[in-house]
Chains A and B, each alone.
Chain A
């Protein structure tokens, strides 16, 4: 199914791309690439006739003449320095135009227990794990990423390692000379009893159309904890997919802050595959102008005695739109599941829209699941209370919005990062001194 010019062009690019991979043609990941390209051919780009893309029209994004084979990769100093919410001591993993750049990423002293490599240089055991859990069978963008991922980055956290320095993944895109469609890819393996924090941030330079289609796979071994902070404030359109598979007693704690960007679609899946696993998803979306922010999450309770907790807040102004689709899937046998979901939206304008769809599918009988979605304007009674103390209507709104946003940004557990992000949010919501 060729549903637009870009679809055909990308498939042609894929053949060209394959030729450049001399020697690696029968490597496990290369076989997967071919399957993924084939899947992309069959699926075509999603249209709004598909339930999963009903409110998220990608057609305006894919009308550009992108290439998936970016030209020369510019040096890292072409891009702005990392923002100040990234801790000074962070380990920096840099991808430019979707390609992992080891030259810029490997510091002299890597923290003990952290291994960084790329898809082609990593060990055979890891090579065999890559691509196994991120499903591309019904997502054309994930298929495309899998086909084109140009030597993604691999992070391996050793058993029992406690990495105290946050690991920052910086995705840079150069859209100065031509339209670009980047496919960054990350594979993370967290060993038994390990602990790490990951901050993801991306930035784009240039005025040409840019579409960043990123994908992450995470395997969390027994009793590991991963804290994952995703800060989205990019000028490029973003489509992301993540899938974490969690072993017994592991913790995955994700905070996704969508502060900027005209088009953002996040698809996040946590698979609670063994007893005692725990997943947290926190999300904040600030919408203005005609921006679109779409969060699709799925928590797959596949084992008993697991917990999940999900809380997304949206503040939507002007003609912005947000989509929240939260699926909780409790499989037969996943007894004693505890799953909680909440999604709240403040609409600041009559032209802003929220499409919220909590989806609970429960096939076990001894579970506690709850979900709730609310949307509306700022509470008049609260506004009046603040105004009755002399606070202007504008400032009162800003205080209430900032507090609502902070419910999510306060989930960041890196102190200085939390403070700096809070300053950015305060500024965006006009709650300044």
Chain B
């Protein structure tokens, strides 16, 4: 589904990614761990198409198509979803209105008719239960005045509505208390199936107690220095990131 081949990227002349390679197949969940500043979130931004980063070499294929040539909205329409580390507050645009616009654009790109108002409402009702979002919430301005936990739940709610093939969760656990963490994890787990894949970016092993990954990759200085199964996360938690210093 996703093939990242020897990817290098920089921002303002500073190298952030130094040769990342990764293959993700449908049905898999990959965790990416690593210390702050190791390039984890940069990888997420590059995958979603953020223009602040310049890819200097390497390539990314998504379902065989070159991702780097696609606009952010084209990537979303192809099935990529980024759950933001810091979801953006958009005053004056309600979550419902925003999702309707997003959903209709996705449907249009697949040659489907827009969802009618009743079906859209029914779908919102169903999916909002997944992350225990109150319906009144959906009429409020997108993320405006939401708590950290509400913003993250809203990201997972959007993911549930848009049903991406590949979802990237960028530090979704940061700033969540244990109850919110469980709600978010349950939501993600309910969406996992054989046709989609997840990339879970996290600093801590805690989230991986609830979303069990198939693979764990450790980032250090802009590349993957170690890959393994879910037990690698626990090992990392025990030994700390200092353990990596000799490896890069």
Contact = CB atoms under 8 A, between A and B. Distances in A.
Contact of B93 (A388, A399, A433): A399
B155 to A, nearest CB: 10
B31 interface: no
Contacts of B76: 387-391
Interface in A231-252: none
B72 A388 contact: yes
Interface string A385-427: 1111111110110011011101100000000000000000000
Given A386-B98, A400-B93, A393 B105 contact: no
Given A388-B82, A390-B109, A399-B98, A382 B71 contact: no
A384 B141 CA distance: 17
Contact of A387 (B71, B91, B158): B71
Given A390-B105, A390-B106, A391-B105, A385 B84 contact: yes
A407 to B, nearest CB: 6
B50 interface: yes
A404 B92 contact: yes
A381 interface: yes
Contacts of A382: 88, 90
B90 A400 contact: yes
Given A399-B93, A400-B93, A403-B93, A389 B102 contact: yes
A404 B76 CA distance: 25
Interface string B131-158: 0000000000100000000000000001
A389 B109 contact: no
A380 B51 CA distance: 10
Contact of B73 (A381, A390, A399, A400): A390
B92 A381 contact: no
Contacts of B71: 387, 393
B121 interface: no
A148 to B, nearest CB: 43
B50 A384 contact: yes
Contacts of A385: 84, 87-88, 90
A81 to B, nearest CB: 31
Contact of A390 (B50, B93, B102): B102
Contacts of A402: 92
Given A385-B87, A386-B98, A392 B92 contact: no
Interface in B163-188: none
Residue in B49, B50, B99, B101 whose Cβ sees the most chain A Cβ within 10 Å: B101
Contact of A389 (B51, B92, B141, B162): B162
Interface residues of A, number: 23
B217 interface: no
A431 to B, nearest CB: 9
A395 B88 contact: no
B223 interface: no
Contacts of B224: none
Contacts of A391: 73, 76, 98, 101-102, 105
Contacts of A407: 91-92
Given A399-B93, A399-B101, A400-B93, A387 B72 contact: yes
B60 interface: no
B154 to A, nearest CB: 12
Nearest to B49: A388
Residue in A386, A395, A399 whose Cβ sees the most chain B Cβ within 10 Å: A386
A389 B73 CA distance: 6
Contacts of B50: 384
Interface string B199-215: 00000000000000000
A399 B97 CA distance: 9
A386 B77 contact: no
Given A403-B90, A403-B92, A390 B77 contact: yes
B16 interface: no
B33 interface: no
A392 B82 CA distance: 16
A386 B162 contact: no
Nearest to A401: B92
16 contacts: A380-B51, A384-B49, A384-B50, A384-B88, A387-B71, A387-B72, A387-B76, A388-B75, A388-B76, A388-B81, A389-B102, A390-B105, A391-B98, A396-B73, A399-B101, A403-B91
Given A403-B91, A403-B141, A433-B114, 20 more contacts: A385-B84, A385-B88, A386-B98, A386-B102, A387-B71, A387-B72, A388-B82, A389-B102, A389-B158, A390-B76, A390-B103, A390-B109, A391-B101, A395-B105, A399-B93, A399-B97, A399-B98, A399-B101, A403-B90, A406-B92
